[in-house]
A and B are shown apart, each in its own frame.
Chain A
């Protein structure tokens, strides 16, 4: 679609592809997607985790890195914990005012 200089829509392209080469035509180029998917994901996430790990060491933060944030309950517990703190604080404040 990006290559065409004519006016074409998704519908017209799909129906033309189906007419010219059948259902299999919609899967043209599957090979280059499939064979590269695994090495691509491996490179992407290895590099990302390495880089964000290095940044974390540099700045001493503890919230970088997807695996850490997504995979574990730890960060969620942290969120819950800080919420509880806020709630308690508000409660105390209210109490102080009312007295």
Chain B
């Protein structure tokens, strides 16, 4: 005899897993897009410009510190100077966040219940997102970097890398990035749960 309730329960679990995957994915996509527009685009532009300045070939570096660099760039190029490449940035951040939160949401709650478990689950979600999307990061870095002028647009950049360096060039620097992202997402997810718990105990929230 088949247990009808078991079958419906199983169906329910699968559906609820699918729902949390979709919900995590969509919410991550939204969060990633906002994050890219508000924070990541200026951050990455500033970072790339400061790195380029440190390695400039026509003389010693012009920027003395982070703040001095930002001030000088804004003075010379306006606010647009620290806000470049918003489209690739949105693509990169939203795809990564959607993937991470999607994966993280389907990991059963019991594997996220302690800080250590949450860190492990976060590291897994982060690692998988790196393996899936490293090529977007490489293309973005190439188009922002010192030799950015070499590439006319994204499609041109892809075909140039493919032609001259082959498929594996799209996965350059995956090792270090994998290490960094795993640690980063693991720590963030684990701390986030703890901070939420701590705040909940001292602060009445309406979102419960």
Contact = CB atoms under 8 A, between A and B. Distances in A.
Contacts of A93: 3
Top-3 shortest CB links A-B? A31-B66, A70-B193, A1-B173
Interface of B: 3, 5-6, 9, 16, 19-20, 23-24, 26-28, 30-32, 34-35, 38-40, 43, 46-47, 50-51, 54, 65-67, 97, 101, 104-105, 108-110, 112-113, 118, 137-138, 141-142, 145-147, 164-165, 172-173, 175-176, 188-189, 192-194, 196-197, 200, 207-208
Interface residues of A, number: 45
Given A32-B47, A32-B50, A69 B39 contact: no
A2 B138 contact: yes
Interface of A is mostly: helix
A98 to B, nearest CB: 14
B110 A64 contact: no
A55 to B, nearest CB: 5
Given A66-B192, A67-B193, A52 B110 contact: no
Nearest to B140: A2
B188 A3 contact: no
